[in-house]
A and B are shown apart, each in its own frame.
Chain A
Amino acid sequence: MPLSDDELKDAICEKAAKSPKPQLYIKDFYKCDPDSKPRKIKNVANELVREGRLMFWSSGSTTMYADPSRIQNEEKNR
């Protein structure tokens, strides 16, 4: 059974809070729920961005997702 939207959101946020590096690939979130389709996970991750619970980090060629407080902290120290 795939997780509900809210459960999936929490799992994604937890992963973003605890990952070794703040920037995560969308694929890293697939593991949050192996039963959810990649497109579903992308949609939920983007909803989290709109809610302000995740943030994009882009190199220009690759876009990653990050926990806002962690990434803003890292950006400050760059």
Chain B
Amino acid sequence: MAKHETPLLDQLEGGPWPSFVSDLKHQAETKPEVYDILGQLELSYKDRITHWKHGGIVGVFGYGGGIVGRYSDVPEQFPGVEHFHTIRVAQPASKYYSTENLRKLMDLWEKHGSAVTNMHGSTGDIILLGCRTEALEPFFWDLTHEMGQDLGGSGSNLRTPECCLGTSRCEWSCYDTQETCYHLTLHYQDEIHRPAFPYKFKFKFSGCANDCVAAIARSDISVIGTWRDEIRIDQAAVKEYIAGNYPSNGGSHSGRDWGPFDIQKEVIDLCPTECMWMEGDELKIDDKECTRCMHCINVLPRALRPGADQGASILVGAKAPILDGAQMSTLIVPFMKIEKENEFEELIEFIETVWDWWMEVGKNRERVGETMQRIGLNNFIKIMGLEPIPQMIRIPRENPYVFWAEEEVEGGFDRDIDEFRARHAA
């Protein structure tokens, strides 16, 4: 496995940005098979077609996920990438690593694979790129026995769940995202490792609407922290912000002089529901109009805090696919208590109601958000046993999302309309 001429790829090293081409060349000095990645990619640039063969029967015994089979379709030219399987490894909650754990993992990957990694994949887990079929089981043995770590999800499985820092570091977290993520990961081991579904399924946990793990954009069930009482206001701190004694946004925009802080322009005018105003030097919030977007709290962290009655909103149906458009999750349950005391019973019941329905009704390779769209939100919430509420849609006045079923109409659809009109003119 020698170096190949790669004039097209070399152009990608020319810019002021980091280059994967430089990284791979560096890696190839100790792992010569990596030259063949560069060689094959150069050929793809020339031929304008991929030379990877997708999929296969590779895996570790009993697991229907965690390994993604990849082969070269030109192995005679590039023997180093004849097999080049990807391994997904579950990341620790919120991606807290010890250097010891990272070093061990990298040593393991040097030993069994190409040493090329992607930290982290778009699902959030650790991606180890490139090893041969015969290396899979030995790698898996060492990973599980020496490191006590497990493979993540792939294929038609529950994918590795992911969470934000949550209460471990963030004062805004409205529930313990790490505990929830960890508990559900253990609870659903079978669904992570053994394909059960029409297609992939993801959950992600954010402690507040800042949504640091982008749950609303990337997960089939997005659990996003919120509160149902009032934003807690410290009026003395509000005055300090107005006087310029506290830096707004926790000082995160201090790299440049933006002029004096203007609460009207930077907070009140930017509230999406226009539910804030000043009364003298007091900041007022009409909490029943507030959508809990976090904007004002982000700007004035020392003056404003989420309410004390905390839980999460549950949204369903995001996807970022290759076919069709990307789609955000739709709000289904505005507020749910997320509690360890009852082992997350309410959330688990919700998840399983979605699954039982989707496993039955979802078409092959159809994400739950697409199934929802196909049958309509009104039918979906009926299946979930929920009443329609305005929060489920963006502009309730403009969207006739609730349709009457015949049994809900007094006299049914065949009632005597003339008799009705005699009493109510059209």
Contacts and interface: CB of A to CB of B under 8 A. Distances in A.
A30 B53 CA distance: 30
Contacts of B195: 26, 42, 56, 63, 65
Contacts of B69: 58, 60
Interface residues of A, number: 27
B157 interface: yes
A49 B58 CA distance: 13
A4 interface: no
A72 interface: yes
Interface in B390-416: none
The size bracket of the interface on B is 20 to 34
Interface stretch (B24-32, B141-149, B358-366): B358-366
Nearest to A25: B364
Interface in A17-46: 25-27, 30, 37-39, 42, 46
A49 B63 CA distance: 9
Nearest to B66: A58
B155 A62 contact: yes
B67 A39 contact: no
A59 interface: yes
B62 A60 contact: no
B198 interface: yes
Interface of A: 25-27, 30, 37-39, 42, 46, 49-50, 55-66, 71-72, 75, 78
19 contacts: A26-B197, A38-B196, A38-B360, A39-B196, A39-B359, A42-B194, A42-B359, A56-B57, A58-B56, A58-B64, A58-B68, A58-B69, A59-B54, A59-B55, A60-B68, A61-B155, A63-B156, A75-B56, A78-B56
Given A56-B64, A58-B155, 19 more contacts: A26-B196, A26-B197, A38-B360, A39-B196, A39-B356, A46-B64, A56-B57, A56-B195, A57-B56, A60-B55, A60-B69, A60-B154, A61-B199, A63-B64, A63-B157, A65-B195, A66-B57, A78-B53, A78-B71
Interface of B: 53-59, 62, 64-65, 67-71, 86, 154-157, 194-200, 356, 359-360, 363-365
